[in-house]
Amino acid sequence: MQTMQAVVFDGELRYVRDWPMPRISPGWALIRVQLAGICKTDLEIMKGYMGYKGVLGHEFLGVVEKCDDPAWVGKRVVGEINAACGKCDWCAQGLGRHCPRRTTLGIVNHDGCMAAYCVLPVENLFIVDPAISDEQAILTEPLAAACEILEQLSLTGKERVVVLGDGRLGILCAWALATVASEVALVGHHQDKLSIARWRGISTSLRGEGIAPGADLVVEATGSGKGISQAMELCRPRGIIVLKSTVALQGEINLAPLVINELTLVGSRCGRFSDALAMMRAFPDMPLARLITNRYPLQQATRAFTEAQSGQALKIVLEI
């Protein structure tokens, strides 16, 4: 049995050199991973999220090494993380990321990409344009999550938008929305992160100072269950709140403003990689590389995760 280096979580985080190499099925590809990003979901898995055990990681850039379609071999790729069954009603509607029988790279029943190799269906893969740098490409998955808002909502561009949360996802949501809307404000608690976020006229606010209520659209990306309360305070009657945080609410929360102000609450999760890559091509000046705080070799994964858990880093990248 062939083995490889990998970062594994099985109750504790471990770097190992003898993890079994993944096997490829027909229609799938073996990808030699070059870069892998540490995501908040990885940190939540270490706290018990989804009960997952195995190779961590779902954000990667790599090169196809083996595939039954030789046209893919040698291609520089990123890949959508949900491997759908391809047979159910959701898949028939092009919504494989909601397939009830899907596996999810590094999250559900599918070894992840913090390893020398990972596998995905060819239909999940996207060739990365040579004009897109490695630093941009490794952020395809979180940028796609931000682009999902533009798929879910029909915006005119005249909306007043407020994004809550100055973490990586909040900044990416602000950047994605700034490609459409002319008035976007980002609210956070870290002046250094807010400074990184400035692009295309985005205004920033430390702890909500100067942000008046009455926004047409509020994106909640604080990573805190309390963010929904602030979103309801800032949203105008019949406005829209997009909920990006996946953290469970702690304690009771008053949802009456949703009814009283007839607010629309939209849950928003993964997006299409094609949209993220198209946005990178259309806006090559989007400063994605600013979000990478540090890079570590895979062997130093423990140190990398410690920095990612500190709350100070925006994006930590592992080099394989």
Question: How far is the CA of 217 from the CAs of 103, 201, 225, 276, in angstroms?
Answer: 32, 17, 19, 21
Token reading at 28:
């799938």
Q: Examine the domain organization and report whether 98 and 182 are in the same domain.
A: no
**Residue 139 resides in a domain:** no
CATH number at residue 56: 3.90.180.10
Q: What is the mean pLDDT of residues 290-315?
A: 96
Residues 197 and 261 in one domain: yes
Residue 191 belongs to some domain of the structure = yes
Write out pLDDT tens, residues 258-290.
Answer: 999 999 999 998 899 999 999 999 999 999 999
Contact 318, 297 (CB under 8 A): yes
Please indicate, yes or no, if residue 138 is contained in any of the structural domains: no
What pLDDT does residue 314 have?
95
Average pLDDT along the chain: 94
State whether 208 and 290 are in the same domain: no
Q: Over 60: is that where the pLDDT of 226 sits?
A: yes
Residues 56 and 121 in one domain: yes
Whether 73 maps to a domain, the answer reads yes
Assess whether 46 and 114 both reside in one domain.
yes
| Whether residue 259 sits in one domain with residue 155 | yes
The model's pTM:
0.90
Same domain for 156 and 233? Answer: yes
Is 218 inside a domain boundary? yes
Judgement on whether residues 122 and 9 belong to the same structural domain of the protein:
yes
Give the strand pairing for 13-20 and 292-297: unpaired
Same domain, 247 and 291: no
Question: Can you give the residue range of the structural domain that contains 46?
Answer: 3-131+284-319
In single-letter form, the type of residue at position 143 comes to L
Please give, one letter per residue, the 3-state secondary structure of 96-116.
HHHCCCCEECCCECCCCCCEC
Last residue in a domain, options 267, 293, 311: 267
- Examine the domain organization and report whether 109 and 152 are in the same domain: no
Q: What is the mean pLDDT of residues 47-72?
A: 95
Query: Same structural domain for residues 112 and 201?
Result: no
Position 251 confidence tier, pLDDT thresholds 50, 70, 90: low
- Tell me: do 32 and 103 sit in the same domain: yes
Structural domains in the chain (count): 2
pLDDT tens, position by position, 61-110: 999 999 999 999 999 999 999 988 888 988 888 877 788 888 999 999 99
**CATH number assigned to the domain comprising residue 202:** 3.40.50.720
> Does any domain span residue 279?
no
Residue 91, domain member (yes or no) = yes
Domain boundary among 267, 295, 310: 267
Q: How far is CA 38 from CA 93, 230, 237, in A?
A: 31, 28, 38
Structural domain contains residue 189: yes
- Using the predicted structure, report yes or no on whether residue 223 has a pLDDT greater than 60: yes
Q: Is residue 318 over pLDDT 60?
A: yes
Outline where the chain has alpha helix (H).
40-45, 89-92, 134-137, 140-152, 168-178, 191-197, 227-234, 256-260, 273-282, 301-309
Q: Where residue 120 falls among pLDDT bands split at 50, 70, 90? A: very high
